[in-house]
Homo-oligomer: A and B are copies of this chain.
Amino acid sequence: MIVDLCPSPALYPFYKRGNDTVVVVDVFRASATMCAILHNGATAIIPVADIEEAKRYKSEEFLVGAERDTRKCDFADFGNSPFDYIREKVAGKEIVFTTTNGTRAIEMGSESKKLYVGTFSNIGALAEKCAEKSERVVIICAGWNNRVNIEDMLFGGAFAEKISGISKMLIGSDSLRIALELWKQAKQDPLAYLKESDHYRRLKANGAEGDADYCLRPDTVKIVPYYDSYTKRLKALS
């Protein structure tokens, strides 16, 4: 199996091939939050790209999670912290969800053969699922406003390392090589490695360092969110 990495949603047209299994990663924090939403019993996530659409859902009594630039939007029920979505609030419900970068990356990959959401929280379950029968897995890094970030690259390296322990893996291109090299440097202590990074500093400025710590912890859930292109919802793969 080939694994490749696309470092920004805007570059996916140049990495795309037929039959791709796409993994969308937004380490800080949308991917971990989506995993938490489904882990805590929500029936589905409705990803929407813009705030106006999220507001329309809100006016129709949906529960809405909405974040822009690291902060919860005023009109929303939840922000982008995985800790917001407790079981008592989300179990049995559909949750509308929009974030600065994560939902955009899902849009880019939504026409692929399969789209999963991955991050450290579900890295083990995700690797097992991808190893089952994918020809080529492409990790699409959500980045920040289409710019590249370190934490999503690190996840790419960690994922490739994990999957190479399960099945024979071929490196697709230099961008995955870069991710593997960075992960080699960071794996002993990813949080320390990221202390100077753009997004960690934004989280810290907004009092969300605890989220950063949680988002880097491996295998806290067994959930693999997948995109159902018929209903345009993310659901938990059973």
Binding site for B on A (CB under 8 A): 7-8, 10-11, 14-15, 144-150, 153, 173-175, 177-178, 181-182, 185, 196-199
Contacts and interface: CB of A to CB of B under 8 A. Distances in A.
Nearest to A200: B174
Contacts of A196: 177
Contacts of A185: 181, 185
Contacts of A182: 178, 181-182
Nearest to A154: B178
Contact of A150 (B7, B8, B174, B198): B174
B174 A197 contact: yes
Contacts of A174: 144, 147-150, 197-199
A114 to B, nearest CB: 22
Contact of A178 (B146, B148, B173): B148
A192 to B, nearest CB: 13
Given A7-B7, A178-B178, A182-B181, A147 B198 contact: no
Chain copies in complex: 2
A56 to B, nearest CB: 28
A147 B11 contact: yes
A197 B172 CA distance: 11
Nearest to A184: B185
Contacts of A197: 174, 177
Contact of A147 (B14, B146, B148, B199): B14
B8 A11 contact: yes
Nearest to A4: B147
A9 B104 CA distance: 20
A153 B174 CA distance: 10
Given A153-B178, A182-B178, A7 B173 contact: no
